[in-house]
């Protein structure tokens, strides 16, 4: 009970008539609180730019790096600023196979983001479902599911991913399956913890008193209140997924060579680092770093803002 509690309680006791006329949805409050931090606002802006670039890639780059007809192997390993035979400038140089780095990076960003986001979404759905069911059912069901989660979490992510890909083979869909398998357990654990706390609250008892069925209570009452920590974990895990995919590609077991993601581009350029052709690894590395950092910063601020105890 801090001295400030008197302050917050006084605000809450204000008559609604005196409150702002605008309808104050939780979303609007969230946005207002979120953008208070300049760092987070900047990170959010950066993230928007990155996503925009990735989405618009085909429209803005001079070359489609996956179309072998447009790539000239004679142009390989050119430094930034060189001119292409076709007339446009290689603003960031070319890589070992002759691909324009800007184009390759943006296309690679598309793949990285897509894989990261899709796997994150699927893992969220699976993990949240498991967590909710475990918390609500309790007893043996909960024990079983949570032991599965513990088992999953005790293995290093890379190891599992490598094993799965060795079994399933390469390809974008296989990578996504591997990433989902590695990630769902975090969501399950987070959701179960929050759901348990929410289930003890009186509004859930009230819902049972009003005769609502289990499904309605689970999805209409508990799930919306479990969303805040879930969103926070999802943002952080998205960054994780992107980094994991880059690691796998770097190790050579990720996406195929012909459709390189950022990780693969970094790997490709590794052999040339010491001979002075730094740009092939450097620029994709910077973009990867910026993406992951932006996601993490946004997730950080989200967590602070959504945490009821830290609020005001």
Under the phi-then-psi rule, with left for phi > 0, alpha for psi from -120 to 50, and beta for the rest, what region is 265?
alpha
What residues numbered 231-250 form the site for other proteins, per CB under 8 A? none
User: What's the CA gap between 264 and 60, in Å, rounded?
Assistant: 22
Does position 309 bind other proteins by CB under 8 A? no
Q: How far is the CB of 305 from other proteins (least distance, A)?
A: 14
Does position 147 bind other proteins by CB under 8 A? no
Does position 9 bind other proteins by CB under 8 A? yes
Does position 144 bind other proteins by CB under 8 A? no
Among 21, 22, 23, 74, binds other proteins (CB under 8 A): 23
Q: With respect to other proteins, which residue has the nearer C-beta, 101 or 302?
A: 302
* Interface pattern 76-115 for other proteins (x via CB under 8 A): ----------------------------------------
What residues numbered 148-207 form the site for other proteins, per CB under 8 A? 201-203, 205-207
Among 59, 69, 74, 210, binds other proteins (CB under 8 A): 210
For other proteins, how many residues bind (rule: CB under 8 A)?
36
Would you say 100 and 61 are in contact if contact means Cβ atoms under 8 Å apart?
Answer: yes
Does position 6 bind other proteins by CB under 8 A? yes
Would you say 255 and 113 are in contact if contact means Cβ atoms under 8 Å apart?
Answer: no
Would you say 266 and 284 are in contact if contact means Cβ atoms under 8 Å apart?
Answer: yes
Would you say 123 and 180 are in contact if contact means Cβ atoms under 8 Å apart?
Answer: yes
Handedness of CA 15, 16, 20, 25 (dihedral sign): positive
What residues numbered 212-231 form the site for other proteins, per CB under 8 A? 212, 216, 220-221, 224-225
Determine the interface stretch with other proteins among 15-23, 125-133, 187-195, 235-243 (rule: CB under 8 A): 15-23
Q: How far is the CB of 28 from other proteins (least distance, A)?
A: 11
Among 22, 85, 167, 209, binds other proteins (CB under 8 A): 209
Does position 1 bind other proteins by CB under 8 A? yes
User: What's the CA gap between 180 and 169, in Å, rounded?
Assistant: 16
User: What's the CA gap between 247 and 285, in Å, rounded?
Assistant: 12
Among 211, 215, 309, 310, binds other proteins (CB under 8 A): 211
Does position 4 bind other proteins by CB under 8 A? yes
Query: Which residues, other chains included, contact 62 with Cβ-Cβ below 8 Å and sequence gap of 6+?
Result: 84, 86, 88, 100, 102, 103
Does position 121 bind other proteins by CB under 8 A? no
Q: With respect to other proteins, which residue has the nearer C-beta, 1 or 167?
A: 1
Q: With respect to other proteins, which residue has the nearer C-beta, 9 or 38?
A: 9
Interface with other proteins (CB under 8 A): 1-4, 6-7, 9-16, 18-19, 23-26, 201-203, 205-212, 216, 220-221, 224-225
């Amino acid at each position: 009970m801090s001295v400030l509690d008197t302050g917050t309680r006084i605000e809450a006791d204000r008559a609604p008539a005196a409150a702002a006329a605008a309808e104050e949805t939780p979303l609007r409050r969230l946005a207002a609180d979120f953008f208070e931090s300049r760092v987070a606002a900047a990170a959010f802006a950066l993230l928007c730019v990155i996503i925009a670039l990735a989405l618009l890639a085909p429209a803005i780059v001079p070359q489609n790096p996956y179309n072998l007809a447009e790539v000239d192997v004679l142009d390989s390993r050119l430094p930034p600023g060189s001119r292409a035979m076709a007339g446009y400038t290689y603003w960031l140089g070319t890589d070992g196979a002759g691909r324009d780095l800007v184009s390759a990076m943006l296309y690679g960003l598309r793949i990285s983001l897509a894989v990261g986001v899709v796997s994150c979404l699927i893992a969220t759905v699976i993990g949240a479902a498991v967590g909710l069911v475990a918390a609500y059912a309790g007893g043996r069901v909960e024990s079983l599911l949570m032991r599965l989660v513990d088992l999953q979490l005790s293995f290093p992510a890379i190891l599992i991913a490598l094993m799965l890909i060795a079994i399933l083979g390469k390809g974008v869909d296989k990578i996504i399956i591997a990433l989902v398998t590695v990630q769902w357990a975090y969501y399950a654990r987070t959701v179960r913890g929050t759901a348990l706390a929410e289930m003890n609250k009186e509004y859930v008892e009230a819902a049972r008193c009003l005769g609502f069925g289990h499904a309605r209570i689970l999805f209409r009452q508990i799930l919306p209140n479990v969303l805040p920590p879930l969103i926070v974990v999802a943002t952080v895990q998205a960054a994780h997924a992107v980094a994991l995919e880059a690691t796998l590609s770097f190790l050579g077991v990720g996406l195929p060579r012909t459709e390189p993601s950022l990780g693969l581009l970094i790997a490709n350029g590794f052999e040339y680092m010491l001979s002075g052709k730094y740009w092939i690894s450097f620029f994709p590395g910077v973009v990867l770093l910026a993406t992951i950092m932006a996601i993490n910063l946004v997730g950080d601020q989200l967590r602070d803002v959504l945490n009821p105890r830290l609020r005001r």
